[in-house]
Structure 1
Amino acid sequence: MLYIFATTNNFSGMKYFQLELKRPIFFIALLLTSAFTRIDAQLVIEAEDYSQMKGVQTENTTDDGGGLNVGWIDNNDWMEYKISIPVAGDYEISYRIASQSGGGVADLLIVETLAQKTMLPATGGWQTWSTVQGDSLITLPEGETTIKVKAASGGFNLNWWQLRLVNPADSDNPSAVVITETQTDVHDVYMAWNKSIDPTTVVSGYDILMNGSLFAKTSDTTVTLSKLPPGLEMDFALIAKDLSGNTSDTTFLTVQTDTLPWEITWSDEFNIDGEVDRTKWNFQTGGGGWGNGEAQYYTDGDNAIVSGGNLIIEARKETIGSNKYTSTRMNSSGKGDFLFGRLEARMKLPSTGGTWPAFWTLPTDWVYGNWPNCGEIDIMEHSATYNYGHILGTIHTGAYNHIAGTQKSGGIHIGDVTDTYHTYVIEWFPDHIDWYVDDIHIFTYVNEYKSTEEWPFDVAHHVLLNVAIGGAMGGDIDDNGAWPQQMIVDYVRYYDFKLGENDTIAPEKPANITIDAKGNLANTSWNLAKDNFVVDKYIIYLDDMKIDSTKGTSLQIFDLEPETHYIFSIAAVDEAGNESDTASVAFTTPELTGIAVPGKIQAEDYTQMSGIDTEDCEDTGGGTNVGWIDAGDWMTYTIDVAENNEYRAKVRVAGQSSSGTIVFYGDDDRELTTVNTSPTGGWQTWTSVVTGAFDLEAGIQTLKVSATKGGFNLNWIEIGKSSDMTSLSYLTDKDIQIYPNPFHGEKLNISVPAEFDNFAVQIVSVDGKLVHSQEYDKPNGLIQINNNKLLPGVYLITISSQKSVITKMLSVQ
């Protein structure tokens, strides 16, 4: 058996090949190291494969690999072998032996001349095997030779013996590389050449230098160099090396990657001193942390100026409101929006700890929902605190983002980023995005063609430039460092690839269609269709009739008949109007069922909705809640009512600082009841409100929950018989007394009629901060709140039942 191990530590990883050959065994280990390439020749000779012998016998061996070993070796017994030496040089010898008590001596004779003597120790048994290495090297010529292994002293078994080349005998250089073929495209260079010839040994590999620096190593006679910038001219040098490290003359070749048919269609070269050009840029203003705990306040252009051919964004240590720093965040939304192409900026970055400069993009129209589902491309981010000089390029999507810990990114350490300009680039294609820093490729994100959760990058984005202070990536702020700090931008450019011009190629048809049918509706989804440019929309057919179109990769189909067979079909259409073949899937709707009433309805289990979104819920039980509810938003639910009766609904809600109104509708848009919600002091601070009574008839029907006033989240709705639900009374303003008001002491009294029970009291500051929230069952007419932490100011006290919400003002002095 011949094993050839090709072990590389440069580009190819490790490869194993196994070939069946006749004995003796010949090993070649090809190692590509960072210093040079060499081949180590090893000859393993099975002891029983002698051409002649004296006095020995063979037996079955229990050593690894099985087979036979030579035994019964006594003094002056010997075995002779005919060996073909592949490469002249110095060899190391080792023996695989077993010995009960030791004392054996093996003599190695080359053409009857003693070359080496090796002492063989005891191994503890005739089948207890050990490898013993000779004390010195032996020199062998290339070609056929005769080697004899003789027992100067017996008492050992021999399974195999091995020769390993240590020092090849070679002073000749390989022939120069003769290049036979080159091919280029936008990012790749392919080269092929004839195998170089070495007069003495063999060529072990080739060094490839680009612009004078070692770029790659290979033992093959072809190489493909990838991830190169378009239009880049490169000077290559190829050098062959043999086993001894001798090198050939250098072969030179100049190659240029193909250029893309792009042109600059939008840029700001910052060549006119003064204010920033507001025909190209918008300023975003404000503080509040920007979702990352940042410390700066973004001003309306006060921290940005064009001077000396550069945009200067200045982060200053100055206070506006509760923010101790000021800076700039500017974007090109509506004035520079881009789909595919090359975005490039040349800039210097700030150095003081806490600075977090970024060059990035967001969608202009958030087609796929809120962040991160909308998609974000971070072309350049830098943290002076965590890793000065290290540049990151990152994407955020619904599937891959830092909140979930699944973000995908690449980076490079480039040292000085403050006094030296560097160029930061993405090249954005329909099937991937490449990141470059100073023309060095650092990261590729590939379109998996699954859904917009992985690839929302088929809609136009705009550019953002900003310097944040502190926060998640900015880290600890060096208050005593050098301030102000500047991000200096030489230019920002967009190159249009014009991929869609003269497009006559239709997309591939959508794949991986899934259908979840539920009685009178079906939830459908599919993978993104592949196209040479971009898919604009998907056309949906049901039983060969067009019913809808969508830009996303999912669609709900309503008003289906239960227990009915349908054929769902879909075609992709690109921006040039080319339509793919149709993909079809048959399905059958099941029997119509509904959520049982009496029972609990999870808010996210709607059959239809308008305007809302879902998020992880921190209420008891976890799960998901519905959020982002504005006036006019709604959800419908299919419910199965057990019997004609009067019902009430308990609604689980949370709201930051505003009250809301929910209206329930039955079949035929019949209004059932209305309930008001109060602010709870947080989007995940939950409380329950109960509606008034309403009538429902038995059977499957549609319940519509609509917001006539938004500003709240919804977790669940529990519907029960009115007689089984807690009955709360109406409250009026005159029923509630709060004293003392103004409040000076430690105990606040709230008086309610003794018959009132089951209501909630909340105290909220005028800036929306919840300072007290509690539900009361039977307070017997008086609530006393011990709170000496109320700071001077004005507060709103809300007392809410299922039928009434009363708000009163409290002055604390």
Structure 2
Amino acid sequence: MKQLLPLLMMVYAISVNAQDLLIEDFENVSSVWETVSCYSDVRDNAFKQGLNLSGKVLYIVRAPGCDNWSGAIYTPSEPIRGYSYVHIYMYRTNGNKPNLKISENAPSGGSTDLEPVNSIVANEWQDVVFDISAFSQVDFLMIMADRTAITNDAEIYCDQILLSNDAAPRTAVLQPAEQDPAEPISGEVDSEGYRLMWSDEFDGTALDRNAWTTEIGTGDNGWGNWEQQYYTDDAITVEDGKLVITATKRDYQGSHYTSGRMISRDKMYFTYGKVVASIKFPDLANGLWPAFWMMGNDITSVGWPRCGETDIVEMGNATGISNGTQDRYFNGASHWGENWPQASTANAQNAPYAITDGNYHTFTCIWTPTQISMYLDRDIYPNVEPYHTLDISDHSGQLWTAGTYFNKPNFLLFNMAVGGQFTGLNANAITALNNGPRSMYVDYVRVYQRGDEGETLHKPNSQTALRDISADKDVDRIEWYDMQGRRIEPATKGLFIKKTIFTDGTMRADKVLFIH
């Protein structure tokens, strides 16, 4: 790690740069909303009219026999600061009076219960605005159907919940995902009817932070697999038009190895289509475990394995090691279910040629509402049979049925683990890095779609750049460290080092004290 610059300033609270913050749209953004007292759920929009034509909404009801605080609540992992208003698209079936609560701490002379600041009416969608400017932070968002005495059910439907510093009610019409398709990057249609909709060609000089997040640390029990490495940000670079993930043997934060793992969660995610990555794997012997895979973008709300996991390619398995074929032994796999032990299916095989031969190989996953299929080097061998398939045609919603877990938005992941259960090796048996680091290279990753029913695509917001006003420079990324210089993410209560890396290669370090 580069030496941090001297202390420049001390601040006592961090506020988000005052751009709108979307909390939930109930289509692709996945937050955890819990019922308070009576009943709530996420359901189809029964009132597609006026300002809201979207597909899914939050439904909240308070029956006459329920507590007057009945509603739904969302609690962020950390308090949110820097906003003055909460906006909620809302539809009421009667004249009930919705309330909002964001904290147990009332401002001086005020109440914790908030009422709309704009006039609201029943039986139509409108943007309902709540003034939270008297509060220092948002500890939670609790939407209550009606706190007055009622004789009939008080029902409200909510959508696109937003934090903002603009008090003006929104007038934009919410559109369903299927009626607002992303524009293709290329107008060319391939022989299967697919068009290129999104790609990362890794042509820049740094990782696109609008599309990717690097994960840091060892996770829980070695990311659930007893992996031996510590994932670091600097293990992932972009060089000569390629993504590079490098594994190194070194003592770091209690681990003996470092490597990289990156995800597109909440930044780039999609439902159905064809995803292709061109990858060059290093010599894996013995102990490297590289992978290209997908998981449900709702993992933060439903957890694993309910999110569903699609492993497009993995190498370095213990069987390949024991058979001396790990240069060509690879697999695709699927994992799903309600809890551990998960349901899973995997197909491992020896390719007819070496994959770790110093050349790039393509790995393709074709995902439709009925099946997931995976192919090796389909660009060279268009008639090659899939090496892994999964039937996801059952959309009945039954628990443990594969179709229940694989018909929703997924994000992409690349990583290269060291050791772990998959390899069957403990730290002492790993030899792959004894003679120096080894790297996995990715030439590109591309997502294609055909415009079929059910397809969705959320592209990264590559148009929005973060700019440090005091330095008058564009920001590449922000990193947090504890006072011992260890990378942490995110910063929590206490004293931390905030390291700002600018796009011109310079950096700045500030000491920041969080007081909650």
TMscore range, shorter length: 0.3 to 0.5
Greater fraction strand: 1
Instruction: Please identify the structure whose Cα radius of gyration is greater.
Output: 1
Which has a greater percent of helix?
Answer: 2
Task: Give the structure-1-normalised TM-score.
Answer: 0.29
